[in-house]
Chain A
Amino acid sequence: MKEKAKVLDKESLNRAITRIAHEILEKNKGAESLCLVGIRNRGVYLAQRLAQSIKAIENKEINVGALDITLYRDDLTLISAQPIVHKTEISFDIADTNLVLVDDVLYTGRTIRAALDALIDFGRPKVIQLAVLIDRGHRELPIRADFVGKNIPTAQGETVEVRLEEVDAKDEVVIMEK
């Protein structure tokens, strides 16, 4: 795979997060009963950044959880490599919260389907919304995001890589092609 195009750099990525933070607050009428759950791996870092951003705007700390959806996947046997099971860490009660699920890339929608199943095993949020940094299209399930950093039309053979300082040493989003 080689790099085809850079679609977000550090500054535009930060601006996208700040905008999503504002949109989340607007839609939920403030940070009251708001919580964020990131999908492992990069969704967790995005959720933490969103929480910081929300704190900067509203001066309110909100709960952030981490969700591993490996055990809920419908394609476990289709993955050639060993799926590594990571920890789910949701240390707060999600019942009656306005829960925003956070992931880096929205593609087929299957990860989100699995995440919804997993979340509902933890409790019954008042509402679940979805925030993604990139929506690249090609949905296979009736799922859409409430908050999108950037819509990027892609071909199916391409992949979108979100790189974050916490794990990849830099902030950027690139499209890769064969």
Chain B
Amino acid sequence: MVWQRKDLLGLEELSREEIELILSTAESFKEVSTRDIKKVPALRGKTVVNLFYEPSTRTRVSFEVAAKRLSADVINIATETSSVKKGETLIDTGKNIQALKADIIVMRHNYSGAAAMLAKHLEISVVNAGDGWHEHPTQALLDIFTLKEKMGKIAGINVSIVGDIAHSRVARSNIWGLTKLGAKVTVCAPEILIPPAIEEMGVVVTSDIQEALREADAVNVLRMQFERDSSNAFPQQIEYFKNFGLTCERLEKAKKNIIVMHPGPINRGIEMSSEIADGSKSVILEQVTNGIAVRMAVLFLVAQAKDRKDENIN
């Protein structure tokens, strides 16, 4: 299996083998972060630009740490303080970064498909760090990596995703990745937050949290993005916790070894109680650690593919 893509845009377009290659490469990279000197020279001399059109701390920092542990140089561009404010288009911004001889753009954008469009117009690599409601591939990869580490396998396990499925790129990427690897996925949300035709992605749909938990080996709880609610369609926070919040009482009826995941940041007392977030079933902080290994693997693989392409042309 050879990784051929210069970009990582989403999990929808990846084969099972490609996803497994990222996961096995990440396994090897995980060890690097346990060393006294947490750095290898694999991307020395490469420049990674973090281009974030939406606020993000954890994803940006995780990519920055990953790139630095590979010895790449990292430049962060927050668009609020850049020429984007003066009306520069996304493609112009991208071409300027390319002209600076950067090697990889890691982009977060509020429009679905923005990463794919940029990748099409540029020769350098583009890694999607979240585009609108579309995909957030590295988050799903780190979720799947964590699941695999805990469960030993992905094929045949039951994973329930609880929360705002309609507006969640994390849910979408997780569904693509998990179903390709043979997991059984259930999504659970208030009816208004379940997108139409979601069953066609090969998932079971329910609005009953207890039913979503009954067979689950793992539950991935999404953040309720109340700040995005412009239509007042969201339930009230207290009402949401009452009907969907993860509590000790609800987890008692689930499988004994169920693991609890969350992409962060957690709204304590809304998506889950503090006892659960800090409890023994929670792997939330391990997800953060694994995110670095997964992002190192992605940066390494796209940089290699790009270099090989350039070699073949010359």
Whether B40 is near chain A, meaning CB under 8 Å from some CB there, is yes
Write out, one digit per residue, whether chain B residues 291-312 have a CB within 8 A of any chain A CB (1) or not (0). 0000001001000100110110
Count of residues in B whose CB is under 8 Å from the partner chain? 25
Q: Are B31 and A82 in contact (CB under 8 A)?
A: no
CB distance from A73 to the nearest CB of B (A): 8
User: Which A71-101 residues have C-beta < 8 A from chain B?
Assistant: 71-72, 76-78, 80-89
Which A residues are CB-close (under 8 A) to B304? Answer: 76-77, 82-83
Which B residues are CB-close (under 8 A) to A71? Answer: 32, 40-42, 70, 300
The majority secondary structure among interface residues of chain B is helix
Count of residues in A whose CB is under 8 Å from the partner chain? 22
Which A residues are CB-close (under 8 A) to B233? Answer: none
The answer for the CA separation of A118 and B28 in the assembled complex, in Å, is 14
The answer for the CA separation of A76 and B45 in the assembled complex, in Å, is 13
Write out, one digit per residue, whether chain A residues 144-174 have a CB within 8 A of any chain B CB (1) or not (0). 0000000000000000000000000000000
User: Which A7-30 residues have C-beta < 8 A from chain B?
Assistant: none
Given A76-B304, A82-B1, A121-B37, decide whether A87 and B42 contact each other with a Cβ distance below 8 A. Answer: no
Q: Are B300 and A85 in contact (CB under 8 A)?
A: yes
Q: Are B28 and A85 in contact (CB under 8 A)?
A: yes
Q: Are A121 and B39 in contact (CB under 8 A)?
A: yes
The answer for the CA separation of A70 and B296 in the assembled complex, in Å, is 14
Which residue of B2, B21, B28, B307 contacts A68 across the interface (Cβ within 8 Å)?
Answer: B28
Given A76-B307, A87-B31, A89-B31, decide whether A81 and B2 contact each other with a Cβ distance below 8 A. Answer: yes
Which A residues are CB-close (under 8 A) to B307? Answer: 76-77
Which residue of A76, A80, A83, A122 contacts B37 across the interface (Cβ within 8 Å)?
Answer: A122
Which B residues are CB-close (under 8 A) to A68? Answer: 28
Which B residues are CB-close (under 8 A) to A86? Answer: 28
List 13 A-B residue pairs with CB atoms under 8 Å apart, sorted by A's residue number: A68-B28, A71-B40, A71-B41, A72-B40, A72-B42, A76-B304, A77-B307, A77-B308, A77-B311, A82-B21, A84-B25, A88-B28, A122-B37
Chain A residues near B (Cβ < 8 Å): 68, 70-72, 76-78, 80-89, 117-118, 121-123
